């Protein structure tokens, strides 16, 4: 996990024995899209916590899945905080071997104490 204020870069690998592959799909395992979104959301939350912010992810928009991610593939993600009138949002891209595998926007609101 690295990056500057409001920006995060991280990499991850989904091991062959990951529970994410259970039934998705037999004889042709692919990382489910929800796993990629969860990876981005966790990276965003970790980066924001390091800056004293505690966002609650409220939704996703304009998500596009372009390439399948398979067991042991290494992905790199980038997310950047952008301002929206309804609250913070994060423009993200997930790359596989330098190509865009997934992109979209996470929407959020500030956590209430």
**3 state DSSP class of 14:** coil
* C-alpha torsion 20→25→30→34, nearest 10: -50
- Is 7 labeled as catalytic in the residue annotation? no
Token readout for 31 is: 């990382």
Q: Are 77 and 92 in contact (CB under 8 A)?
A: yes
Q: How far apart are CA 24 and CA 49, in angstroms?
A: 32
Q: Are 113 and 56 in contact (CB under 8 A)?
A: no
Catalytic residue among 7, 18, 24, 53: 24
Catalytic residues: 24
């Amino acid at each position: 996990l690295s990056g500057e204020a409001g920006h995060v870069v991280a990499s991850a690998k989904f091991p062959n024995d990951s529970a994410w592959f259970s039934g998705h799909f037999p004889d042709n395992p692919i990382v489910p899209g929800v796993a990629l979104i969860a990876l981005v959301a966790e990276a965003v939350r970790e980066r924001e916590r390091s800056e004293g912010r505690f966002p609650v992810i409220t939704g996703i928009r304009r998500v596009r899945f372009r390439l399948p991610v398979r067991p042991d593939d290494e992905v790199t993600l980038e997310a950047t905080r952008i301002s929206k009138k309804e609250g913070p949002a994060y423009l993200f891209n997930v790359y596989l071997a330098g190509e865009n595998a997934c992109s979209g926007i996470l929407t959020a609101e500030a956590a209430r104490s």
